[in-house]
Structure 1
Amino acid sequence: MKAQADRQVGPIVDQLPPGSVPDLRPLHGRWMVLEPVSAERHARDLYDSVTASDPEGTVWTYLGYGPWESFEQFEDWLRQREASRDPWFYAFSRREDGKACGMGAFMRADAANGVIEIGHIWMSPGLQQTREATEAIFLMIRHCFDDLGVRRLEWKCDALNQPSRKAALRFGFTFEGVFRQHMIVKGRNRDTAWFAMLDKDWHRVRDAFERWLRPENFDAKGRQKSKLQVS
């Protein structure tokens, strides 16, 4: 009995997760709207937003799909994403013109343990590194913690994808390690870098995002005056 008593165990979870999974509600921000992806509404905008400005298809380097040889192929692919439930795919659209210019998904939902991942994130070159891009990610994170009540939010990427790794840290995720030989993507080995954010981190992270996203933090051209600081 003494040996059993000496074994350490984790703390009791006083408040169990609500067991929520994404319900495909729209997510509204100041500059961006995230809504369930629709091939009819979003396919043409999404396809054009990348092909016109990224003819080499660099957006797809670390993803398991793309580029496509035709709009029809992309539209068929997007129609399958529209029907998917886990992952749940969203289109990222700017409020100013309503055009979709990126995508993301909630995935690997483990409602009983309060865990979910955001992934399948890609953005057109015109959306990348803008306040709108950051707000889109904030809307996803906020939905996970404030609406779904998760305890743990995960972010994973190819370990060689330095922009994604830097973004995860900028957004307040903590690096947890690399899973070696985790996947085969497009015939190549992928080691996967794991990041996570916990519910105890969320209030601090949310405050930092909300400060950064204030309109007065940007000049007339939308350029930031102060950097996002979540640490």
Structure 2
Amino acid sequence: MTRTNEYEQPIGDPVPGWVPVPLPDAEVLAGRYCTLERLDPGRHAADLHAAYAAAPEGRDWTYMSVGPFPTPESYRGWAAAAAQSRDPRHYAVVDNASGRALGTLALMRHDPANGVIEVGWVALSRALQRTPAATEAQFLLMRYVFELGYRRYEWKCDSLNAPSRRAAARLGFTYEGTFRQAVVTKGRNRDTAWYALIDRDWPAVRAAFEDWLDPANFDAAGRQLKSLRALHRLA
């Protein structure tokens, strides 16, 4: 039923007791398969560059506004600047089994007054892609944000970036539309596809992640028994 005001105009639902939420300030978010640590060039840059450099070509950077990084020094320079940023707030994804940093991601476009925040700058090395740790890294940030009281968690990507669009859908985000000519990056136009997860979706999404990440969901060879997409449908 649509709510109306005294002028018979349709209005949104009330948000009783709403107050601005805190800015993210966690230094470490620990999980079963990985740990997110605030990006620190001294601890992480060498591992990260080595992990990225293991890829045979630069296709993982096509849709990023930075990279690829041809030398350890070039990556360390970027990481040093990124580590000083509060927004985006960059995290290294550290594999718990090896202790090595294998990727990064960030919380960005902080809007605590409205309870909105975005995940971005997702750069996962080939060693991290398609692993439980990669999925858990996304879950750790989601859980942290919603526990802080955020109402909306966004994912945006180049509309031509099919892997990123598939990842957003797999992780439980809802596609909301495409902003045409939103960005110029690396001298090219970018139409930006918008996805979001909101607080009322979170309990079911969280349950699906917890079921997928459970060690019982993997066989002796490490293969998943139920997909995350299937668990989202069941939740």
Q: Could you state the TM-score of these two structures normalised by the residue count of structure 2?
A: 0.94
- Stretch moving more, 215-224 or 85-94: 215-224
Please say if 1:124 is aligned against 2:122.
Answer: no
Q: Distance in 2 between matches of 1:183 and 1:164?
A: 17
Distance 1:162 1:201 in 2: 24
In structure 1, the residue matched to 2:37 is 35
The letter of the residue matching 1:125 is R
Q: 2:166 — aligned with what? A: 166
Aligned position for 1:75: 76
**Residue 131 of structure 1 contacts residue 222 of structure 1 at CA under 8 Å; is this kept in 2?**
no
In the TM superposition, 1:72-221 aligns within 5 A as 72-146=73-147, 148-221=148-221
Contact 1:37 1:89 in 2 (8 A): yes
Q: 1:143 to 1:5 in 2, by over 3 A?
A: same
Deviations 1:129-160 (A, max 9, x none): 111111111111111101x2100000000000
Q: Distance in 1 between matches of 2:9 and 2:81?
A: 48
How far residue 25 of structure 1 moved from its aligned partner, in angstroms, is: 2.5
Contact preservation (8 Å) 1:131, 1:224: no
Which residue in the other structure is 1:230 paired with? 232
**CA distance, structure 1, for counterparts of residue 159 and residue 144 of structure 2:** 26
Q: Secondary structure at the match of 1:191?
A: strand
Q: Which structure ranks higher in relative contact order (CA pairs < 8 Å, sequence separation ≥ 6)?
A: 1
Of the three residues 9, 21, 28, the one matched with 1:26 is 28
Report the alpha carbon displacement of residue 18 of structure 1 after superposing the two structures with TM. Answer: 4.4
| Residues 24, 88 of structure 1: 8 Å contact kept | no
Q: CA deviation at 1:4?
A: 5.7
User: What's the RMSD between the two structures over aligned residues?
Assistant: 1.4
How far apart, CA to CA, are the structure 1 residues paired with 2:125 and 2:72? 16
Q: Look up the SS of the partner of 1:219 in the other structure.
A: coil
- CA change 1:40–1:217 in 2 (3 A) is same
SS in 1 for 2:155: strand
The residue number in structure 1 matching 2:62 is 61
1:57 and 1:208, CA in 2 relative to 1: closer, same or farther beyond 3 A? Answer: same
Gaps of 5+ in 1: none
Q: 2:5–2:11: 8 Å Cα contact kept in structure 1?
A: no
The residue type paired with residue 177 of structure 1 is G
**3-state SS in 2 of match to 1:33:** strand
Asked whether the equivalents of residues 106 and 118 of structure 1 are also in contact (C-alpha less than 8 Å), the reply is: yes
Runs of 4+ with deviation above 3 angstroms: none
Q: Report SS of the residue matched to 1:43.
A: helix
Q: TM-score, structure 1 length as denominator?
A: 0.95
Q: Deviations over 1:38-90 (max 9, x none)?
A: 000000000000102x1311111110000122111110110000100100000
Q: How many angstroms apart in 1 are the aligned matches of 2:221 and 2:17?
A: 45
Secondary structure (helix, strand or coil) at the match of 2:91 reads strand
Equivalent pair of 2:36/2:92 in contact (CA under 8 Å):
yes
Aligned residues between the structures: 228
Measure, in 1, the Cα distance between the counterparts of 2:212 and 2:20: 30
